Structure 1
Amino acid sequence: MLRTFLRVFAQLLRRLVSRVLIIASLALVALAAAVFIGPVVPDVVVEKLGVDSLDTILNILASSMLAVTTFSLSILTGAIQFASSSVTPRTRLVLRDDTLTNAVLSNFVGAFVFALLGIILRATPFMGRSESALLFLMTVLVVLIVIGSIMRWIDHLASLGSVDASLESFETIAHRVMSDFVSRPALGGHVMDRDEILSHSGKPALVAERAGYLEQIFEDYLQVEAEECGVDLYIPARPGDYLLPGMPLAWIDGNTPDKAAGDRLRSGFRITSNRLFEQDPRLAVIVLTEVASRALSPGINDPQTAVDVVHRLSAVLMDCAPKPGAEGQEDPAGDKDRIVNTRLYMAPTEPDVFFRTSLEIIARDGADRAEVREAIEAALDRLQTYGGPVVKEAARASRDRLVQGPAD
C-alpha cells in the first residue's frame, strides 16, 4: 500500500493547485506564528526594525504578486498552446506538471495570500508593534523568496515550450518510466505470457463499468484486497489500454467475490479519459514518436528534429526488455522468484510493441527522407550491437519488417 500511496501523493504534489494550497497554508501558519510568538520579541529588536514601512511593503507585495501571477499564467497558457501546435498535443502533460513552473507560480500566489492576510491582520487589534516586528521579518523573507522565484522564472522562460526543451523532458520521462517498467514488468506480480493470461478467460471476470483509458493500477491495494478475498487476479489489460464497459480488467481464480468485494477490487483500476506516463511506457515512446511525425509533416518540414528523436528513442529502447532479477521474474541465482504481489499475474509489454509504435512509424512518415532512413538504420544497428538478447531480437525483427515495407 505504501508504494501506491507515495505514487499518488507524488502525482498530487506535481499539480499546480496542490502546490498553491501548500504555500498558501504555510503563509497562514507564518501569520499565525507572528500573532502568537510576537509578544516574546525583545523590545530592542522592535525598535531597530522598520515596522512603520510594513504596510507599504505589504501593499506593494499584494498588488504586484497579483499582476505577476496573472501574467505568468498567461505565459504558461501560451506556451502550452504553442507547444501543442508545434511539438505534440501531449506536451500539456509535461508542462502541466512542470516542477519549476509550478513551484514559481505557487510562490507568487503564496506571497499574494501572505501579503493580503498580513494587510487584514494589521487592521485588527491582534497585531501590535511586537507582532508587527516579527511579521516584518517574515515579509522580508517572503520578498527574498519572490526575488529568487522571479530570477528562476526568467531563466526558465527562455526554453519553456520550445522543441528542444520538450524533447529533453519527454526523453527524461521515457527513461524514468521505462526503467520502472523493466524493473517491475508485472507491477511486482507474476510475469506470464499473454497467452497464459488469456487461458484464464473462462473464469469469472472483473469487468470495467465505464469507457476510458486504464490510467494506472494500484497494485499494492489489489494485493491486499485479493488476499482478503482469497483470489488470484489474472490481468489482461496494461495501463494505457482503452477499455469499454464489460471488457475484463481481470479474471478471478478462487472464491467468487460478492458485489462489495468486486467493487473494492475494481477500485484498484483507475479508468479516466486520459493516459498518464506512470506505468505506461508505451505513452512515453508514442509521445516522442509524435514529435518526429509532426516534424516530418509538410507544414513543418523539419527532418533534423525527426533524426534527433530517432537517436533519443534508440537510447530509450536500449532498455525496453525486463531483465532477469526483475520483480516477478527468476532472480540471477535462479533459486527463487522475486514476487512482491503474489496474487497478481500480468503479461509485460513486448519489446516489439515499442519498436512498432516508434521507429517503424517514423520510418513510414519519413520514407522519402534519406537522412531519416539513415538515422533509423543506424539506431537499429546500435540496438542490435549493444542491446540485450531480447532487444537485439526485437531490433532484428523490426529491421525485417522495414525491409518488407513501412508499417501502414
Structure 2
Amino acid sequence: MQTAETRKKSTLVRIVTARLNRSLLLLPMLVSLTGLVCAILVIGGGQHLEQAARLVFPAPDIQTVRSVLSTIAGSALTVLSLVYSLTLVVFTLAAGNISPRLLTRFAEDALIQTTAGVLAATFFYSVIVLQRADSVPPALTTGVAVLWSIGSISVLIVFIHKVATRITIDEEIGRIGASLSGYIEEILEEAEEEGAEAEAPKIDGYRPDGEIRQLIAKRSGYIEAVDLGALVVAAAKHDLFVEVEATPGAFIVEGCALASYVGQPGTGQEEQNAYAALRRAFLVGRQRTPEADLDFSILLMVEIAQRALSPGVNDSFTAIAVIDHLSAAFARILRRRPPSPLYRDEDGQPRVWLETAVIGRLLDTAYHPLRREAAGNITVALRLVASLRRLAQVCRPEYCNDLAGHVRLIAEDIRAARCNAEDREAVLSDCRNVLETLGATDG
C-alpha cells in the first residue's frame, strides 16, 4: 500500500514541466535574453575590462567594430532562419516516415531549442551593441561578439549532427524505448519490502458501506494526469473514499464519471468545494501525454512497428527493433511487485483507489497488435516469441500466466497461418520452450 507522500515527484509537476519543454518559445527566449544581458554589461561596465580584453583581442577602429557587428548580426539571423527551416524539414520527414506523434518529442529537444536561443542571443548582442558603437570599448565589444559567433557555430555543428540522427529510425526507436523505461521508473514505485501485502488488495475489502456517488466531468478531453496527493487530501478532508474511473490516458466526455466515491462531502457550499477540489485533481487536455500514461509510449512504439509491417513498407527489421526495445521496457515492469492501487491518508485511512498500471493490460496493449500484424511473418513471429522468452526469464511468478497467454496466441496464429511445416515447427518449438520456462503447459 502507498501513501501520496511516497511519490518522489508530483505527476502534475512533471506534466507542467513537460509542456514547457515542448514549447519552441520558452527556452529559446530565455537563452536569447543572455545576449541582451551581455550587451548591457558590455555597454555599462565594459571600460573596466577593456585593458584585459586588449591582451587577447586587438583594438579596432570604429568602422571595423561596426563592420564586425553588422556581419555577425546578419549571419546569426540568416543561420537562425536555417535552423528553424531544418527543424521543420526534420519534423516533416519524421512524421511521414516514422510517426506523426513524434512531433511532440522533437519539439521538446533541448538542443534544438538551445541552438535557436544561442543564435538569437548572438543577434541581440550584436544589434544592441551596434547602436552604441561610438561609445563602447572596441576590443571587448568585438571580442565578445567573436566569442558569441564561435559559440553559435559550435552549437550549430552539434545541432546538424543531432537532426541527422533524429531521422534514423533505429536511433529514434532506441530513444523512445529509453524514454519509456524512464517513465516506468517515475510512474511505478518499488513495492514495499516490509509490511507489503502478500496478495494484491481488493477494493471490496476497503470501500466503506454507503451510497456510491459519481464525480461528473465538466469538460471533454484526455486525462493527462491525476494529482494523487490532492485527491487524497480532498478525500481525507471530506471523509470520502474515492475510486478513480478515468485513469491517465482515458478520453472522458462531458457528463461522464471521472470517479465514484462513498461518503457525504457536506451540503451547500461545502459540497461544492469538495466537488471542485476533487475535479482539480484531474488534468484534462486535448492530447495524451507520456508522463503519466504508460500506454502512450507503448502505443507509439506499436504504431512504428505497424507502419513498418504494412504492405506498402514491409520493413520487418524495424518491427524487430521495436519488439526488442519494448521487451527491455517490459522487463523493468515485470521485475516489480504489482503496484498497489490503494492509497491512504496520513492517518492510515484508505482514501483513494487508483490503478496506475495494470500489468496484464500493458502487455495486451503491445503484444496483441504486434501479434496480429505479424501473422504469417515468420521472422517477426520468431522475434516476438524470443522477446517473451527474455521476459519469462526475469518476470515475477504472478506475471507468468499473462506471458503464457500471449505465447499460446502466437502458437494458434502460426498453426492457422499458410506457411511451410518447417517454419511452423520452428515457431511452435520456441513457444513450447517459453511455456516450459514459465512452468505452463502447451495448450
TM over 0.5: yes
SS in 2 for 1:278: coil
Instruction: Compare 337-346 and 91-100 and name the one that shifted more.
Output: 337-346
Give the corresponding residue for 1:144: 150
Question: What amino acid maps onto 1:299 in structure 2?
Answer: G
The CA distance in 2 between the partners of 1:201 and 1:192, in whole Å, is 20
* 8 A contact 1:183–1:327 mirrored in 2: no
C-alpha RMSD of matched pairs (Å): 3.5
Instruction: Indicate how the Cα distance of structure 1 residues 341 and 116 shifts in structure 2: closer, same or farther if over 3 A, else same.
Output: farther
Aligned partner (choices 162, 165, 168) of residue 171 of structure 2: 165
3-state secondary structure, aligned to 1:251:
strand
The aligned amino acid for 1:203 is I
8 A Cα contact 2:11 2:292, kept in partner: no
Amino acid at match of 1:21: M
| 2:135 maps to which of 97, 120, 128 | 128
The alignment status of 1:70 with 2:81, answered yes or no, reads yes
Q: After superposition, give the CA deviation of every residue in 1:67-87 in whole Å (9 maximum; x if it has no partner).
A: 212222222212222211221
Q: State the partner residue of 2:437.
A: none
Q: 1:119 aligns with which of 125, 130, 144?
A: 130
Alpha-carbon spacing, 1:129–1:348, altered in 2? closer, same or farther (3 Å)? closer
Which amino acid is the alignment partner of residue 180 of structure 1?
E
Q: Among 5, 10, 17, which residue is 1:3 paired with?
A: 10
In the TM superposition, residue 365 of structure 1 has moved relative to its aligned partner by 0.8
Displacement after TM superposition at 1:282 (Å):
0.8
- 1:241 corresponding residue in structure 2: 250
**1:364 equivalenced with 2:372 (yes/no):** yes
Please identify, of 292-301 and 60-69, the stretch whose mean Cα deviation from structure 2 is larger: 60-69
Partner of 2:101: 90
The Cα offsets for residues 146-194 of structure 1, whole Å up to 9 and x where unpaired, read as 0211120122232222212221121111111122232279xxxx98657
Report if the CA contact (8 A) 2:201-2:342 is conserved.
Answer: no
Change (3 A) 1:390 1:315: farther
Output the amino acid matched with 2:178. T
Q: Which residue of 2 aligns with 1:333?
A: none
Q: 1:341 to 1:162 in 2, by over 3 A?
A: farther
Segment drifting more, 215-224 vs 73-82: 215-224
Please, what TM-score do these two structures have when normalized by structure 2?
0.77
Task: Work out which of the residue numbers 326, 330, 342 in structure 2 matches 1:317.
Answer: 330
- Residue pairs, 1:94-109, within 5 angstroms: 94-109=105-120
Give SS of 2:284's match.
Answer: strand
Of 99, 106, 121, the residue aligned with 1:110 is 121
Equivalents in 2 of 1:201, 1:260: separation in Å?
Answer: 21
Q: Which has the larger radius of gyration?
A: 2
Percent of matched pairs sharing the same residue:
21
CA distance 1:70–1:345, shift in 2 (3 Å): same
State the alpha-carbon separation in 2 of the partners of residues 24 and 323 from structure 1: 44
Aligned to 2:187: 181
Total equivalences in the alignment? 392
Question: Structure 1: 5+ residue runs without aligned partners?
Answer: 331-335
- AA aligned opposite 1:167: I
Structure 1 partner of 2:65: 54
Secondary structure in 2 matching 1:158: helix
Q: Secondary structure at the match of 1:358?
A: helix
Q: Deviations over 1:17-71 (max 9, x none)?
A: 1111211222222222223323433557569643543322222222122221222
C-alpha displacement of 1:300: 0.7
Counterpart CA distance in 2 for 1:319 and 1:16 is 32
- 1:220-369 to 2 correspondences below 5 Å: 220-254=229-263, 255-256=265-266, 257-321=270-334, 323-324=336-337, 343-369=351-377
Going from structure 1 to structure 2, the CA distance change for 1:13 and 1:96 (only over 3 Å counts) comes to closer
| 1:66–1:260 CA distance, 2 compared to 1 (3 A) | farther
The normalised TM-score by structure 1 is: 0.83
Following superposition, the deviation at residue 103 of structure 1 comes to: 2.0
- Whether 1:398 aligns to 2:406 is yes
Q: Kindly provide the amino acid, as one letter, of the partner of residue 78 in structure 1.
A: V
Q: C-alpha separation between the residues in 2 aligned to 1:324 and 1:250?
A: 26
Counterpart for residue 438 of structure 2: none
Q: 1:66 to 1:261 in 2, by over 3 A?
A: farther
Give the distance between the partners of 1:266 and 1:169, measured in 2 at CA. Answer: 34
8 Å Cα contact 2:206/2:350 also seen in 1 = no
Question: Equivalents in 1 of 2:65, 2:85: separation in Å?
Answer: 30
